[in-house]
Structure 1
Amino acid sequence: MHKKTQGIVLRQVKFKESDKILTIFSRENGKISAIAKGARKTKSPLMGSTQVFCYSDFVLYRGKSFYHVNQGEVLNSFYSLRNDLYKLAYGTYILEIVEAGITEEESNEKVFLLLLKTLNVLSVIEDDFLKLVLAFIIKFLSFMGYKPHLRRCVVCNNNLMGRIKFSISQGGVLCDKCKNSDLYALSLDLNTVKAMDNLLYAKLDNLDEVQIPESTLLNIEKILTKYLLAHIDKKTFKSLDFIKSIPK
């Protein structure tokens, strides 16, 4: 039985002489594995629609082990991401997060639309890539059920005052009174908490209106990376390691 779906190609692996095995984040079926026969041939009608980053209309049919890509039509190739090393690296990081965090064949339209919007914004901006990716990560965590508790203490629900910390295990900010309830909690200040809250609720189109110092962004990156890794049971992101290796 054939099935039509929109999908974003998260990953491709060479298979046999001219085929590809794709990881596709589909709008209706979540993350799926699909084989695209002959897609590596220069004249293949599937060559364009099965490239990594491509947002395409697919016609699939279900085989014993994989879906099979019968047809594909490119809706947006996000070609500009391939022309800038930083855009390519951060785009790859975003795809790696989604692939690691999404369960096989479990639909999540909120995350699908978030990914699509983030790739759209990344393809047109010229700087502030880290701010965009951090906004993506904190929204992604929220849509996956791990929304961080930022406006009050996650333990006692009191206002945040004095020295505060962020608890990965408890999922939010600890007030001065509760900060020692987690020995591994990470230090931060009220400005960092406010910046995280702004990233959580700001529209991705309007991030240029959210002014955050670089030092604060780097602290948010440290906190969100650890929080993300803890919840998707992953030790590291290869694409993030690559980003860190790029000379400034």
Structure 2
Amino acid sequence: MLINTQGIVLRETKFNDLDKILTILTKKNGKVQSIAKGSRRPKSRLMPSTNVFCYSDLILYKGRNFYHMNQGDIINSFYSLRNDLEKLAYASYIVELVDFGMPELEQNDKVFNLLLKTLLVLSHMEKDYLKLVYAFEIKYISFIGYRPQLDSCVNCGTNIEEFLGFSVLSGGVLCKNCINGDKSVRNISNNIQQKLKVLLYIKLDCLEEISLTVEEEKSIGDILHSYIIAHIDKRIFNSLKVLKAIK
């Protein structure tokens, strides 16, 4: 059965001297594993569309164990992401997060469009990459079913004016009566709560409308990273190791 779809390559793995195994987020079929036969040959017609980040029109054939890539026509290679080590590290983290957070064969248009938009915006950015990463993280974790509750206490539902804690395990802010006894709590101010809400709802190409201090970046980064690793089955991101090494 032939499938025509758009797809973004999340991961590429050498299969043998000639072939690659690709992890692709497709628009129609969600995340799939595909073999690209002969794609490691220098003159292979498939080779350009099998690189990580590549966004292409694809024709896939469903085999017994894998999809097989029959054709790939590049729409955007996002080649510029490879020319800047910091951008490359952030882009690698973004696709690594999507890879490990998305189940196979589960269509999710919101995640597909979010990933595509994030790579596009990142490819044109010259600074403030962290704002984009944080906006991506909170939108992404929401789109896969773990949207944090930011308006009222996640435990009792009380509307609170001053937010004292964010429960990583419960998934939202806590009031003063519910904060005790939760070992996953991260300190949070009303200001950070508001910034998280903005990052959740803001359009990615409007990020210049929000400013973050170094302290705010650290607080938001700690909350989001802790929240993400608590809800997906992955604690170590190789791309983050690279990012730390180049900074």
Question: TM (normalized to structure 2)?
Answer: 0.97
Report the RMSD for the aligned CA atoms in angstroms.
Answer: 1.1
Post-superposition offset of 1:183? 2.7
Post-superposition offset of 1:234? 1.4
Task: List aligned pairs for 1:1-248, cutoff 5 A.
Answer: 1-162=1-162, 164-247=164-247
Provide, for residues 126-165 of structure 1, a one-character-per-residue CA deviation record: whole Å limited to 9, x for no partner. Answer: 0111110110010001111111011111122223344601
Counterparts in 2 of 1:163 and 1:78: CA distance versus 1, 3 Å: closer
Q: Does the residue aligned with 1:49 lie in a helix, a strand or coil?
A: helix
Supply the AA of the counterpart residue of 1:117.
K
Number of equivalences: 247
Supply the AA of the counterpart residue of 1:158.
T
Task: Judge which range, 216-225 or 159-168, deviates more.
Answer: 159-168
Runs of 4+ in 1 over 6 A off after TM superposition: none
Counterparts in 2 of 1:174 and 1:48: CA distance versus 1, 3 Å: same
Counterpart CA distance in 2 for 1:197 and 1:157 is 17
Post-superposition offset of 1:64? 1.5
Provide, for residues 171-208 of structure 1, a one-character-per-residue CA deviation record: whole Å limited to 9, x for no partner. Answer: 00111222114133111211111111110010000001
Counterpart CA distance in 1 for 2:136 and 2:221 is 12
Q: Is the 8 A contact 2:163 2:173 kept in 1?
A: no
Q: Does the residue aligned with 1:180 lie in a helix, a strand or coil?
A: coil
Counterpart CA distance in 1 for 2:3 and 2:183 is 51
Task: Judge which range, 67-76 or 162-171, deviates more.
Answer: 162-171
Q: Is the 8 A contact 2:82 2:88 kept in 1?
A: yes
Provide, for residues 43-68 of structure 1, a one-character-per-residue CA deviation record: whole Å limited to 9, x for no partner. Answer: 11011111110000111111121111
Post-superposition offset of 1:212? 1.5
Q: Does the residue aligned with 1:3 lie in a helix, a strand or coil?
A: strand
Counterpart CA distance in 1 for 2:127 and 2:175 is 34
> Structure 2: any 5+ residue segments left out of the alignment?
none
Counterpart CA distance in 2 for 1:162 and 1:151 is 11
Q: Is the 8 A contact 1:161 1:176 kept in 2?
A: no
Counterparts in 2 of 1:162 and 1:202: CA distance versus 1, 3 Å: closer
Q: Is the 8 A contact 2:29 2:105 kept in 1?
A: yes
Q: Is the 8 A contact 2:160 2:175 kept in 1?
A: yes
Q: Does the residue aligned with 2:180 lie in a helix, a strand or coil?
A: helix
Counterpart CA distance in 2 for 1:40 and 1:57 is 19
The alignment-based identity, stated in percent, is 53
Counterpart CA distance in 1 for 2:45 and 2:208 is 39
Q: Is the 8 A contact 1:161 1:175 kept in 2?
A: no
Counterpart CA distance in 1 for 2:163 and 2:9 is 44
Q: Is the 8 A contact 2:163 2:193 kept in 1?
A: no
Post-superposition offset of 1:236? 1.6
